[in-house]
Structure 1
Amino acid sequence: MMNFAGTRRAVAYLSRNQPMAPSIKETARMKIIHITDTHLVPAGQTLHTLDPAARLKRVLDDVNQTHPDADLVVLTGDLTQDGNPAAYALLKSLLSELSMPVRLLLGNHDARDNFRAAFPDHPVDRHGFIQSMMPVPGSDDRLLFLDSNSASEIGGRYCEARAAWLRETLAACPESPLTVFIHHPPVAHGMAHFDNIGLHDSEVLMQILRAHPGGVRHIFFGHIHIPMTGTTRDGIGFTAGRGCTHQFRQEFRNPAPDWIAGVPNYAVITLTPELLSCHGVDTIDAQAIAPANVCAGP
């Protein structure tokens, strides 16, 4: 089912200078950078006393320096704080410095029309939703990018139009294992603050994913601004990013916990035939206290 030994496929990615234009890279090992909840505001403004653009730039600089071999960068929504066109223009400028391709998703703080105006070449489905599927080179695996933005409410929706696209898309690759990216968690998250503003029809999406013969390797999402990982009863793994800009104090039962500054952070996902791993990176600006010794082993 997870056959990475098949014929290598040419995959259209997004180039550095034109982030939404295709380029080709083939490998049986894929490294993906996961960033979420950047909440950009127009240049010169702050959010909760923080500069979201400065935070994102710190992350992108570290990704360029530390992971130049990454195959893809994925931002899972709440790209901006309120969908401001100037914030999307700022995001586009910051992403132009990346040395690898990018996929972007929408969260509840985003505005689909303003996003599409700023990123007109970004993949969309036939209804204009920001969702698409990407083959993993050299394998039967697929990366799935889903749109849970709902213009009329804070939480998310996965409406019938989006669900119909997903069913049709997966029907064309029934044996392909999936790695899924979305903004809103389609699983229980344990944070009281989000009880009424999560993915309101999550079971619609989960039923489709559970029925997929190729299985789901993992689901990555944002929205809750805390680190989280787990597995559903039927064996679907999931991981939440912390939020690149502001984060929540982890008071799970408090419906109104404090926002905290935290640290700029991202995750490194490695996808191979045998393993999907995710390393959280939150030590970009950590204070060094002593050098480690080389451990020779037995």
Structure 2
Amino acid sequence: MQHNIIQITDTHLKNSTGAKQMKQRFSPNEKLDLVFRDIKRHHLKADFIAITDDLIHEGNIADYCAFKKMISCKQDRLKMPIYVTLGNHDRTKAFYRGYLKQKSKDKYYYQITSSDYDYYFLDTNFNNIEQGYLDYKQLNWLGERLSQSDHPAIIFMHHLPYAPH
């Protein structure tokens, strides 16, 4: 069975502290709003939307609270789930406290299963280094799940699984 996924990446939304932003004609917040408007305007239907990483450029708890509110509104409006992953410009502790309303953990990774596919959302953020990293704990978790499933797997993550030399 065919599944449709809309992937949005590297949103780098402006944070509330006014931290340095990339020089762009439109703000990242305006661009993301335009993306969601296009999805609605063109009646794009998907099983889900994946926003893969760098959600808020060095955001704080309040930024992730506002992001969660915006994502919930977009989910309701578009009538499709939105899943996220973290990137090297995200702040894991602030994400857990603001977006998830949970006690912080070191990594944010999870699995979503449909009748035909397993979707894995991995966390390549590692001490905010640019190239990212998948730790053994997460790789072992992924390996166990892949070995126990007969579904095809689709993996979402911010960084490449290896760096070309």
For the aligned pair, the TM-score class normalised by the smaller chain equals 0.7 to 0.9
Quick check: 1:147–1:182 contact (8 Å CA) kept in 2?
Answer: yes
Alignment RMSD (CA, Å): 2.6
Show the 5 A alignment for 1:61-210.
61-95=37-71, 96-98=73-75, 99=78, 100-120=80-100, 129-137=107-115, 139=116, 141-173=117-149, 175-187=150-162
Structure 2 residues not aligned, in runs of 5+ = none
- How many positions carry a matched residue from both structures? 157
Instruction: Provide closer, same or farther for how the CA distance between residues 159 and 44 of structure 1 changes in structure 2, counting only shifts above 3 A.
Output: closer
Q: Which amino acid in structure 2 is aligned with residue 119 of structure 1?
A: Y
Relative to 1, partners in 2 of residues 1:108 and 1:44: Cα closer, same or farther, differing over 3 Å? closer
Looking at structure 2, the residues matched to 84 and 161 of structure 1 have their Cα atoms a distance apart, in angstroms, of: 26
Distance 1:85 1:41 in 2: 13
TM-score, normalisation: structure 1: 0.47
Larger Cα-atom Rg: 1
Q: In 2, are the aligned partners of 1:57 and 1:94 still within 8 Å (CA)? A: no
Q: CA deviation at 1:161?
A: 1.3
> 1:106·1:112 contact (CA, 8 Å) conserved in 2?
yes
1:168 shift after superposition? 1.8
Any conservation in 2 of the 1:41–1:84 contact (CA below 8 Å)?
no
Pick the structure with more helix per residue. Answer: 2
For 1:91 and 1:134, locate their aligned partners in 2 and report how far apart those are by CA, in whole Å.
Answer: 21
Report the Cα offset of residue 158 of structure 1: 0.7
Residue segments in structure 1 that go unaligned for 5+ positions in a row: 1-27, 190-194, 196-298
